[in-house]
Chain A
Amino acid sequence: MQLFLIAVSLIFLFKVFYGSPDTFYLRLLFDLVMGISIFFLLLALIRFENSRSSSPLSLVLNIGILLAIMFFIIMFSDFLLTSIFENINLKLNNPGLVYNIVSVIYVLILVAIISFFLVTLRHFFYLNQARNTSIYFNTMLVFFILASISLNFFDDESLSFIITTFFVVSVLLMVFNSIRISWIAFLTKKEKIYLLLLSFVITTLFIVNISNSSGENIYSQIVDGFSPALKQFNQIIMIYGSIYFVILFFTTLFHLPTAEAYDRKAQEITSLQYFSKLITEVLDFNDLAETVTDITQKLSGSKASWIIWRNGTKHNSVAAKNIGFIESDRISNQILEKINFENLTSTKTFNLKDKITEGNAENLFSVVSVSPIKTRGETQGILVAAKGTGQIFTRDDLNAIETFSDYASVAIENSRLLEESIEKERLEKELDVAREIQRKILPLKAPDFPNLQIASVFIPAFEVGGDYYDFFKISESKLGFVIADVSGKGISAAFIMAEIKGIFESLSKTIERPKDILMKANEILWHALDDKSFVSAAYGYFDSKEKRLTFARAGHCPLLLLRNNDAKEIKPSGLGLGLCDVEYFNNALEEYSIDLKENDTIVLFTDGVTEAKNELLDDFGDKHFLKVLQSNINLSAEELSNKIIQEISVFSSSHEQYDDITLVIFKWQQKLKFDGE
């Protein structure tokens, strides 16, 4: 830039000292300085241009604006300058200082404008060039200079053919270089139309400016008087510009019909790129669905798009784009009448029987395309795109949608798998907590109580089942016990268990009769539990003085009494806790007492025992259970419980334990105790 300024001041001084040079060498020297200054200006402009990296369209617009400015300068200079310098012809031959200043500024503006043209055209030339083609452009520039400067050398009529040759070669090179305009292919249709209009205007302006500057007006006289070579150079650049924009105009015109298709393809590629990036980043199903329908709608040029997602036996419209849920559901129903999920393996289109209008009549849907979205090898969703009357789905549309539904399948499967593993992890953590609660709630070991062998076994299921049992020492001669099973599983069951423990622990301290305790417990739980939850329980106590067992059953599995080689179910009436209000419950509840005899064995259990399953999903079963008990009636409480557990594990060895297994066995041994005393 500094160099340019120095060169400019040289030109100025030159003008002031020599006026219009008439000797050959002076003219040559002058043009040389002129050329150098233009060269520096170009370098500065190129550097500026590269650092800005503006879009081709805005550059085109800039050219247009500059051309317009140039046009006005040429137009107005005629009478503006005439009014300042009365006689131009006189001034040309005898320039004063003022004239010199004005003409230098005038020429500088011109130089700046044509330099900008040249730089911009150069920029276009290099735009989207795969190979290094600078040789063509530079050759052209050399010929430009030659064609300009040669004016000075060959004044003679006979040698003017050399000037013409240089000029013609320059023009040929211009045409050759102007064909390199592949950059317009990457414009969108809108931009192409814009460019078409602009290039038309610009071409016109170039031609107008050429004809203006070659005429006999003041502008051309000033420039000519300043330097004929510069004038020539200016003309050449203007010709280059007009040729370039004429070619640009026609190329754009021929590109227009294919512009839309090109746009779509370009969008397809960008969408797919964007989406494949998305697959790895977005994991929320709803976000993905939104993106899928959004892109589908754009890709296929459809009016609306949504996904029919299968949820058990129901179907939902998800992520509806540009259509209300009511309308999309109505169309979905029409679709599902014709096809079902299983049979849809590729993209199909069909016309809607009943056309669906949304809002105003403009939004009419008459044709849809459907593509499967598969997860786990099954069609789980249908990607729908809908178009209006008169519109069709082209082969290209369908290919695009199909490709895209494949992508969507992968993405949704990904997100589903991740969600599953997160959910699983969450569930496992939750279950850890539940198991921990259960472990802390259950008694560590059976208590010691006179005349009673006590054995208890608890085997938790993976998903905490909500089994609970406990013993309460009521007095020296009385031992209370409870066994309960909370409905449901997992953490919620574990919390109810904790509540139950609190209730029974406190009630057993103040109330003795099992019936009263269960009635009170029901009253509390009826209010405390939600509608769906309840607890089956049995509460009772042994009285070693009275040799009696008293108990009541609130919906729990029967109590089993083994006596004289026989196993008997004892099942007094009673409803589950928290199932119904006080009146019902209290009326239904019965209390039962057993006068204990030597070696009476009492077995309490939860349904985890009888519902333990084998690989055929058969239950271990009540009968099987009773048979095992009967045939092992002489074992001790501890041995019997081991035996039962062994039988259950053999039976259900090949099936995962589904529910908690709880077993509590009491064996009444009056004699043993007497022997011990």
Chain B
Amino acid sequence: MAEFSTSIKENGDIRIINLKGYLDAHTAPTLENNFTELINNSKFKIIVNFEELAYISSAGLGVFMAYIENIRDNKGDIKLSNMNDKVFNIFDLLGFPLLYEIYKNEEEAIKKFSGS
């Protein structure tokens, strides 16, 4: 089975989740736990870095939908960055760019959080 792991780093009050490997129905709970933990700790400014993500399935996409409402209600946001073309294509097909801010790199996303 394909492996998936996440790591979280801090940047001020922003939390950056790095994804690595294959995000699908079987590995999605790992990311779900990350989101739950951040929300429990009232960290609502979240950037998800897709640089090392090889694959995302529809169930993986669902994870983002599950938490966005709660996070935005708390004046936070999930911003996405560093997607490769293949991953972006999957997000794009579903119309995610209309729902999420997607940036080329982490810095832009951080700037956006600091600016607002």
Which A residues have a C-beta under 8 Å from some C-beta of B? Answer: 312-313, 485-490, 530-534, 536, 555-558, 571, 573-576, 579-580, 584, 588, 607, 619, 622, 659
Contacts and interface: CB of A to CB of B under 8 A. Distances in A.
Interface stretch (B40-48, B61-69, B76-84, B105-113): B61-69
Interface string B31-75: 000000000000000000000000001110111011101000000
Given A531-B69, A532-B63, A584-B99, A489 B25 contact: yes
B98 A532 contact: no
Contacts of A536: 58, 93-94
B21 to A, nearest CB: 11
A557 B58 CA distance: 12
Contacts of B63: 532
Contacts of A557: 93
Interface in B90-116: 90, 93-95, 98-99
B24 to A, nearest CB: 9
A576 B95 contact: yes
A588 B65 CA distance: 17
A532 B94 contact: no
Interface of B: 5, 25, 28, 30, 57-59, 61-63, 65-67, 69, 86, 89-90, 93-95, 98-99
A487 B58 contact: yes
Contacts of B66: 530-532
Nearest to A619: B86
A555 B98 CA distance: 11
A488 B58 contact: yes
A584 B65 CA distance: 14
A575 B98 contact: yes
Given A488-B62, A558-B93, A579-B65, 7 more contacts: A485-B58, A531-B69, A555-B94, A555-B95, A556-B93, A575-B98, A576-B95
Contacts of A533: 62
Q: Is the interface of B mostly helix, strand, loop or mixed?
A: helix
Nearest to B28: A532
B98 A487 contact: no
A298 B38 CA distance: 41
A581 B44 CA distance: 21
A534 B99 contact: no
Nearest to A557: B93
Contacts of A489: 25, 59
Contact of B5 (A313, A555, A579, A659): A313
Contacts of B95: 555, 573-576, 579, 588
Contact of B94 (A312, A486, A579, A622): A579
Contacts of B69: 531
Nearest to B62: A532
A580 B99 contact: yes
Contacts of A490: 25
9 contacts: A485-B58, A489-B25, A490-B25, A530-B66, A536-B94, A555-B93, A575-B98, A576-B95, A588-B95
Contacts of B89: 622
Q: Which 9 A-B pairs have the closest CB atoms?
A: A575-B95, A532-B62, A487-B58, A555-B94, A531-B66, A576-B94, A532-B66, A488-B59, A487-B62
Contact of A534 (B25, B30, B58, B98): B58
A577 to B, nearest CB: 10
Interface centre among B63, B65, B67, B69 (most CB of A within 10 A): B65
A532 to B, nearest CB: 4
Contacts of A619: 86
A576 B90 CA distance: 11
B99 A575 contact: yes
A531 B86 contact: no
A373 B94 CA distance: 45
A239 to B, nearest CB: 79
Contacts of A571: 93
Nearest to B29: A312
A551 to B, nearest CB: 15
Given A531-B65, A557-B93, A487 B99 contact: no
A531 B93 CA distance: 19
Interface centre among B5, B25, B94 (most CB of A within 10 A): B94
